[in-house]
Structure 1
Amino acid sequence: MAQIKALNALEPFLALTKSATSPRAAADLVTRATSTPNTYVFAELLQSPQIQALPQAPEYAHLNEQQTLKLRQLSLLTLAKDPHNLSYASLQSALGLSDARALEDLVISAIYADLITAQLDPHNQVVHVSSVSPLRDLAPNSIPSMLASLQEWSGRCTTTLAELEAQIAAIKDTAAQKHGEKKAWTSKTEELIDDEKSFEKGAHGHNQSNVVSRAVAGMRSGRYGKRDRGGNSIEVEADDDEAMDLDDNQDLNEGFEGAASGAGKKRVNRRKM
């Protein structure tokens, strides 16, 4: 935006170069162009033949007050690019200013002209510059070095972009791997939960059978258990089902025989009576 504004301000003076055929007219054109506000780029004006011929007329090699201010403002733009060399003393020496007050006035005029964004620090005697407008003309033969710098910068950008793309690809691969591991872990967990439920269901039915078997064995043990000499109960093994079944049949037979014997005795007694 600042460059467009400066070029538009210079445009009328470029149109007048064709009519400035005499040294006096060319010098007057330069004076007006450099003294006008908002004109800070002059490369196109200086390249015109009429202006190139002015060094041949020494009587016009002078600067007025406005030209001197404009020149110092542009010089301040160049100096402001080095933030480590912006003390009052160094700026006064480079700009040809007599005191700190003159330097502060110059900095303030550059700030109001939107040439720099800066703050004055009188206590520490330093100028803090945060931004500089790109309004300096290129020095002669500076294009090759500028192209080399741009190519170097472009190479660094290409390398950085390649590194970023590699890092992004690695992050995506890691994320995909973690997603797959999480999915497999979830599937395995669900499978284990299903297996546990099936096992618990089967174990519940088996346990019920075991409980019934142990209950029957306990009842048989309590019914047919024998006592030792000390009066202690001797438990019958619950697993010996066949022996217990034989004992049950024997007891039943003995019961029937006893009952029959008793009945016979009763008949005998009745006959005696």
Structure 2
Amino acid sequence: MAQVKALNALEFINCPTYSLSWLSPSRQPRPRAAADLVTRATSTPSTYVFAELLQSPQIQALSQAPEYAQYYTLLEIFSYGTYSDYRATQNLPSLNEQQTLKLRQLSLLTLAKNPHNLSYASLQSALGLSDARALEDLVISAIYADLITAQLDPHNQVVHVSSVSPLRDLAPNSIPAMLASLQDWSSRCTTTLADLEAQIAAIKDTAAQKHSEKKAWTSKTEELIEDEKSSDKGAHGRQQTNMISRAVAGMRSGGRYGKRDRGGNSIEDEADDDEAMDLDDNQEFNEGFEGGSAGAGKKRVNRRKM
């Protein structure tokens, strides 16, 4: 948007009426009119692009006029120079208030390309400002003019610039240096991408190796668990078989009326014991009845109690 405004601000240059005023009655360019145009263009608000004006034949003719050549140099500084260049060049026309503000704003655009040199002290020196308050006012004016996007940091005495409008013209013979810078940047990007790809490949290899190790460990753990289960199952089967064998052997050795184990709860054993006691009681009763002896009857009673 700022670039469109800057280009529109120079439309008056192409006005046919104004173009005729450049020419003398002999149809020769008037250096004085061209010098006045330089002053007007550098003082007009929202005019920040001067390449088209600088390349016009009338302005080019100023470089050949000794009396007005300094106006051509001044326009070059406004096009791609800085405020420091203006102060370092002698015999230039004096700047009015509007020209001074604009040249400092344009110089700020150039200085903002180096984010490591945007301290208050450095900018004050480069822009010829006396104090921090004057610098902050200049930065604020550039922000409101859509020249830069920045934030002031008074605590750390630094200006943080996040974007710069592309309004500065290219200096002569600057294209080879720009191409070299772009090629260097491209080489760094290529190297960085190669490093990132190598790191990504290394991370993938490490992840694959860890996955294989985890899978092998899981498989080994499952195998050990299955072996342990099989071992426990075999031991339990052998123990159960031994218990059954001992029980069968005990039943064979005791017979039908064998002595029961202490604490046994078998209903069949209890039935056998009851049947044996009934047989004993009947035999004793018969003996007592036949003998008629009182002692035998007492003995029978005692046995019943037992």
TM-score by length of 2: 0.57
Structure 1 residue 165: deviation in Å? 0.6
Partners of 1:210 and 1:145 lie apart in 2 by 98
User: How many Å separate the matches in 1 of 2:35 and 2:15?
Assistant: 12
Alignment CA distance shift 1:120-1:174 (3 Å):
closer
Match 1:205 to one of 234, 237, 240? 237
Matches within 5 A, 1:124-273: 126-133=157-164, 134-213=166-245
Secondary structure of 1:53's counterpart equals helix
- State how far apart, in whole Å, the 2-side matches of 1:120 and 1:197 are: 72
Match of 1:58 in 2: 67
The equivalent position to 1:111 in structure 2, one of 132, 143, 149, is 143
CA contact (8 A) 1:10 1:42 kept: no
* 1-structure distance, mates of 2:213, 2:132: 70
Q: Label 1:170 to 1:204 Cα distance change in 2 as closer, same or farther (>3 A).
A: same
Cα distance in structure 2, aligned partners of 1:99 and 1:187: 75
Q: CA deviation at 1:120?
A: 6.0
Q: Is the 8 A contact 1:6 1:41 kept in 2?
A: no
State the partner residue of 1:9.
8
**For 2:172, what is the secondary structure of its paired residue?**
coil
CA distance in 2, matches of 1:119, 1:110: 12
- The number of aligned residues is 217
Q: Among residues 108, 112, 120, which one is paired with 1:87 in the alignment?
A: 120
Structure 2 residue aligned with 1:257: none
CA distance in 2, matches of 1:69, 1:42: 16
Distance 2:147 2:52 in 1: 20
Match of 2:298 in 1: none
SS at match of 2:173: coil
Cα distance change of structure 1 residues 185 and 10 upon mapping to structure 2, 3 Å threshold: farther
Amino acid at match of 1:131: S
Following superposition of structure 1 onto structure 2, how do residues 35-46 of structure 1 map, counting pairs within 5 Å? Answer: 35-46=43-54
> Root-mean-square deviation (CA), in Å?
3.5
- The 1:27–1:146 alpha-carbon spacing in structure 2 relative to 1, beyond 3 Å, is same
Partner amino acid, structure 2, of 1:5: V
Shift in CA distance, 33/120, structure 1 to aligned 2, threshold 3 Å: farther
Percent identical:
71
Q: For 2:231 and 2:13, how far apart are their aligned partners in 1?
A: 96
Structure 1 CA distance for aligned equivalents of residues 142 and 8 of structure 2: 17
Q: In 1, Cα distance between the equivalents of 2:211 and 2:116?
A: 50
* Deviation, structure 1 residue 118: 3.5
Q: Are 1:33 and 2:66 counterparts?
A: no
Structure 2 residues not aligned, in runs of 5+: 24-28, 72-92, 255-306
